[in-house]
Structure formats: structure tokens, C-alpha cells
Structure 1
Amino acid sequence: MRELLTRLETTTRLDPLSDRMQRSVMSLLRGQRIRDILHGVWLGHPLHPALVQLPIGAWFSAAVLDLLPNQRRAATVLLGVGTVSALPAAVAGANDWASQSREQRRVGLVHALANSTGLLLFSGSLAARLTGRHGVGRLLSMLGLAAAGGGAYLGGHLAYKQAAGVNHGVPELNLIEDGWHPIADLATLPEATLLTRQLNDVSVVVYRDGDEITVMLERCAHQSGPLGQGEVVRVDGKTCVVCPWHGSTFQLGGGEVVHGPAGTDQQVLPTRVIGGVLEARLP
């Protein structure tokens, strides 16, 4: 299985189709607001993995009820709930997929194919049950559950092996030692200028706005883009930094994500000034 997934990650045969589909998704979901909603910016957490719980739970529960007597109606209701709720989950997943790296999109494409196959089988099962063919409906449900299970396995590979959708900045916290660490002399920090400094072996950005000073992990939460090379902008009256790679936007005051594709906040470090020296530590 590991060898198969490695081949899937490295094959280039899927790239032409993947690139065309990426352009299509980006074209259909052009509005920044709708994309932010689908990324889970408002939630502070990727939305797709939260949405998939409902269809998977409903489909699996329907399969259990299929094994029990006198549960046809309940199983059919659950099957319908799972099938309908899979649609917004698929849209959110497509939105996330379009902003991923090429290697992640290769696996994500097969992940989507498996889940789409499962959705078609569950839809067929629902149609069969509603027309009284419950035996066929149960068979199609079991096949759909197998396809969705394969898709879920690939989704786990995307998250845990390829780090799709996770906060790429947070692991760097493990490289910072406990205690306060000097960052820079306060007198040397210019106003409204994004600077890059080192804290142990971790790169951080420093931004001064009057008496307010932000020290933030420099590697973007989305795909480790260099925020130190980003642009400082104002969004809804808040000073923010925009990642130069994919446009994820974070408030410089508290690290809150304002625009995706990042779905989680950027980590900000506590600061203090001692003897004219700016210091920072682990949260």
C-alpha cells in the first residue's frame, strides 16, 4: 500500500487532468468571501473534515440498520441524509484541493474519485429503496461504503502523510526552547516595517505599530510560505500580512486568519521588553 501511494504521489500522468480541474474549480469559486467560508476561515478550522462527519456517519449507520430486522424506513432516511449532506462536503473539499500542491492534488484527485463513486452508489441505493427494491439497495449501500472507505483512507493519507490542511507553522514551536529569548533592541525596530528575525532556529516576523509589537512565526500555516516576504495591508481596519505564495492573510495583532486558503490562525508569540530589548517566548 505504501508503494502504491508513493507511485500515486509521484506520477505525472494525472497532472494535465488535475490542472484543468483546478482551473475549473478556481473559476467556479471565484469570490473571496465564498472561498473563505468553504476554507473554514470563519471557523478557525478547515471546514471540509468537519462536514464529512455527517455523510460518513449517516451512511455507516444505515449499513448497520440494514443488518437489523424491521429497519428499512430508518435506513432509507439515514441514507438520504448522508447523500444530501455529502454535496456541501464535496464542494468544500474541492475548494481546499484547488489550493494544494501538485503532489497533494494527485492523491486528492483519486480521493475525490473514490468518494464520487461512493456517492453515486449511495444515490442508486436510495433510488432502489424508494422503488421497493430493498435487496438491491442494501447491496449498493455496501459497495458505496467500500468506495467511501477507500476515499477516507486517501483523505487520511493527505492529512497525516502529506500534511494537507494542517497548520504548517505550529511544528516549529517544538524547536523553541522554554523561557524568554531576545529578538532585537527595541530602538532598532522601525515603525510599520515587516522584519524577519531568528529565535533559536526558528524564523519569526516582527512588526511594530507604535507601542504594539507582534512576533509571529514566519512560515505560513497553509503551505509554509515566507510571510517575511509578504505584503502588509489593511483589511477592515486591521493591519494584516499577506502570504506571497497563495494569498493567505493574517492579522498582525493576534494572528487571526482573515482570508484563506489557510483555515487556521498564524501562531503569535508572547512578548515583553526588558532593558530596551524585545523578548519572546513560547505561548
Structure 2
Amino acid sequence: MRPFDDIDRLANTPALDKVAAPLRDAVHKVLRRQDVKDALHGVWLGHPLHPVLAQLSIGSFASAGLLDAVPRTRRPAATLIAVGLVSAVPTAAAGWADYADGHEEQQRVGVVHAAANGVMLAGYVASLAARARGRSLRGALWGWAALAVGTAGATLGGHMAYHQAMGANHAEGYPHIGPGDWTDVGTVAELPEGEPTRRIVGDVGVLVVRHGDVVKALADRCAHASAPLHEGHLTGTDGSECVVCPWHGSVFRLDDGSVVHGPATAPQPTFRTRVRDGRLELAVTGYEAVPAS
């Protein structure tokens, strides 16, 4: 049996929803400001912020564990533990922001991940307290125990990121599987005016919005969690027309697919558009929008 099979059991345990759902709702109540949420998701960075910050925390704790193996270096180990504890605050904030916009299976694993990290942090607080009383060996033992629990928590985090694709770019494949050649998708006249609609181009779905003879097109599968963007609604932001994801509220500009608001951090792939003899043709362009002709 693979270790991940046990973690999958957590994801398929509805009983965890009794804890996961209230925590999700609490995070949404606390994180009301969109600019704060965007910052914690990592919209400004172009990919999730939480894994970046986690490297500092777990790296500090792991380094402290190595220094604790040598009695003469246990004092600098305390400094690293302090750094890890301080950096854990923004790390946890970013993690909770991502957690609140995950799906149920991710949140079930997420609450166990958070619990393990909480135990780890409590262990490191106890480690610093012991060191402050001059009991360096006891402090080292607390630190190693905390690191063991933290390693288990990090394993759960890795499962969420790589096995459950939390934070991954779910639209990344469009430039590789979408047709690069012009593909006829029907007449322009049959497209509703100013409303999101869906067309199939090759093997992929495309969000299409028409205003007169001007047509804009993005990958229909939301980069955050694969939601169908054509089921969302249009809005205006800073003079640009945008589409709002129907599941978690990510906002993308129709002109170039760029992210206006998270939780998505990766842009939507765009499609070239052209009208010939009253018929619309589309071709994938990747992440650089080409003006409609």
C-alpha cells in the first residue's frame, strides 16, 4: 500500500467536514478585503504564495534540527527556531486563504495538515521555553519531536499540491493541446451579443464573448480549479471587460487573460480570433493575446 493511499482516505472522509466547513466559513468572514486575499493567494507573484513562505519556515526548523545534533551549536539553533515561528504567521495566513477556496477533498486533508502544523509550532514554542531555562538538551528533544510532526504535516501539504492539484494551473495545457491552426466554430451571428458562451476548438472548450464583429476568446477551464468560465458573468474593471469565475470568483481580463482578482494566480490562455465570410475562426495563442481581426 502506498503512503498516499492513507491520505486519500482522509480526502474521502466526510466526517472531517464537521471541522473543515466551519473553518472555511470562518476564514471567509475574516478575509473580507479583496486586496488582502489577492496578496495572500499570490496574485501579485503569479503563483501561490503559501509554498514560497513555507520554504522559509520548514527550512529554518530543519536547519535548527541539524544544529541541535551538535551541543555547541544549540544556541544558534534557537535563533533559527525563532525565525521559523515568526515566518509561520504569514505562511499560515496564506495557507488558510488558499484552503478556504479549495474543494471539499482538499479541505479535509487541509484541516489535518493544519492540525499537524499547529502541533509542530506548539512543540517549537516548548523547545524555546526549555532553552530559555537553560535546558538545551530538553529543548533539542522538543525540537526534534516538533520536526517529526512537521514533516508529516509537510507531506500532507505536498499531497494537496501535487496529488490534489491545489494551487496548480489547471489551464496550463491549453497552449499544448489547443489547435494552433485556424478552426471554424460557426457563424458570428449565432453567438449571443455580450454574453459568455462556449465553443469547442479541437479538443478544448473556449469561452467566447462577442460585441458586434469583435470577438474575444479565452480558455474556458479556469486556471484555479477548472470551473467552466462560460457559466460566469461579465464585469468591468479599470475600463477592461472581465469574466468572473462562477465557482470561486476569480476575475480575468478578456483582452489578455490576465488575473485581476484571485484565488487564481495564473492567467487564462487566450485564443486568436478572426471573422471570415461571417464565420468565426479561433486558434490558440498561449498566454499572449492577439487582437481580433
TM-score in terms of structure 2 length: 0.88
1:4 paired residue number: 6
Query: Structure 2 regions of 5+ residues with no counterpart?
Result: 287-293
How far residue 188 of structure 1 moved from its aligned partner, in angstroms, is 5.9
Corresponding letter in the other structure for 2:139: G
Find the residue that maps to 1:232 and give its secondary structure.
Answer: strand
Matches for 1:144-223 after TM superposition, within 5 Å:
144-185=146-187, 192-208=194-210, 213-223=215-225
Matches for 1:42-53 after TM superposition, within 5 Å:
42-53=44-55
**2:80 aligned with 1:78:** yes
**2:257 aligned with 1:255:** yes
Asked if the contact 1:183–1:280 (Cα under 8 Å) also holds between the matched residues in 2, the reply is no
Asked if the contact 2:179–2:201 (Cα under 8 Å) also holds between the matched residues in 1, the reply is no
2:274 paired residue number: 273
2:238 paired residue number: 236
Range with bigger deviation, 250-259 or 162-171: 162-171
Corresponding letter in the other structure for 1:240: C
Find the residue that maps to 1:273 and give its secondary structure.
Answer: strand
1:56 paired residue number: 58
How far residue 154 of structure 1 moved from its aligned partner, in angstroms, is 0.6
Number of residue pairs matched by the alignment: 282
> Matched residues in 2 for 1:152 and 1:64: separation?
18
Asked if the contact 1:185–1:278 (Cα under 8 Å) also holds between the matched residues in 2, the reply is no
How far residue 6 of structure 1 moved from its aligned partner, in angstroms, is 2.4
Corresponding letter in the other structure for 2:83: V
Range with bigger deviation, 28-37 or 239-248: 28-37
Corresponding letter in the other structure for 1:279: L
- Deviations 1:116-154 (Å, cap 9, x if unpaired)? 111111121122222211101111111111111111111
Matching residue within 131, 141, 144 for 1:129: 131
> Matched residues in 2 for 1:142 and 1:191: separation?
63
How far residue 82 of structure 1 moved from its aligned partner, in angstroms, is 0.7
Range with bigger deviation, 61-70 or 79-88: 61-70
How far residue 184 of structure 1 moved from its aligned partner, in angstroms, is 4.5
2:291 paired residue number: none
How far residue 17 of structure 1 moved from its aligned partner, in angstroms, is 1.4
Query: Structure 1 regions of 5+ residues with no counterpart?
Result: none
> Matched residues in 2 for 1:184 and 1:39: separation?
38
> Matched residues in 1 for 2:241 and 2:52: separation?
30
> Matched residues in 2 for 1:91 and 1:54: separation?
14
TM-score in terms of structure 1 length: 0.91
Range with bigger deviation, 171-180 or 46-55: 171-180
> Matched residues in 1 for 2:282 and 2:173: separation?
21
Corresponding letter in the other structure for 1:260: G
- Deviations 1:37-82 (Å, cap 9, x if unpaired)? 1111122211111111111111111111222353233211111101
> Matched residues in 1 for 2:268 and 2:102: separation?
18
> Matched residues in 2 for 1:246 and 1:281: separation?
25
Asked if the contact 2:201–2:282 (Cα under 8 Å) also holds between the matched residues in 1, the reply is no
> Matched residues in 1 for 2:31 and 2:156: separation?
24
> Matched residues in 2 for 1:211 and 1:172: separation?
25
Matching residue within 90, 93, 105 for 1:91: 93
Find the residue that maps to 2:234 and give its secondary structure.
Answer: strand
Asked if the contact 1:239–1:251 (Cα under 8 Å) also holds between the matched residues in 2, the reply is yes
Corresponding letter in the other structure for 2:30: L
How far residue 207 of structure 1 moved from its aligned partner, in angstroms, is 2.5
> Matched residues in 1 for 2:264 and 2:50: separation?
13
